[in-house]
């Protein structure tokens, strides 16, 4: 679920307030594809909080995790978004 998105992990007891509006709900059997889709949707967002969110992701090499997991065979970075309005 891409809701109440904060720059901090859900596990942080004193997390920053959410900085992005809700984007939606995604589902997949491939954890790498869903992580890539989430990151792509954030990158395409015109939400005012996106720069703050991406600064945190980029300074922590967030994409590296997705790349490494894909290279190790945990999933695929390719996906297809299907809108089910």
Contact 55, 32 (CB under 8 A): no
pTM of the entire predicted model: 0.85
Residues 31-76: pLDDT tens digits?
999 999 999 999 999 999 999 999 988 998 889 999 999 999 999 9
Q: For position 84, what pLDDT does the model report?
A: 83
Dihedral of alpha carbons 20, 51, 53, 84, sign: positive
Q: Where are the domains of the chain?
A: 1-6+15-85
User: Quick one: DSSP state of residue 35?
Assistant: H
Q: For position 27, what pLDDT does the model report?
A: 94
């Amino acid at each position: 679920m891409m809701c109440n998105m904060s720059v901090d992990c859900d596990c942080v007891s004193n997390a920053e307030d959410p900085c992005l509006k809700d984007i939606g709900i995604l589902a997949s059997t491939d954890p790498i594809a869903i992580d890539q889709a989430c990151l792509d949707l954030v990158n395409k967002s015109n939400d005012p909080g996106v720069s703050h969110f991406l600064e945190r992701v980029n300074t922590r090499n967030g994409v590296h995790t997705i790349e490494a997991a894909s290279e190790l065979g945990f999933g695929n970075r390719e996906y297809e978004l299907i809108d089910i309005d």
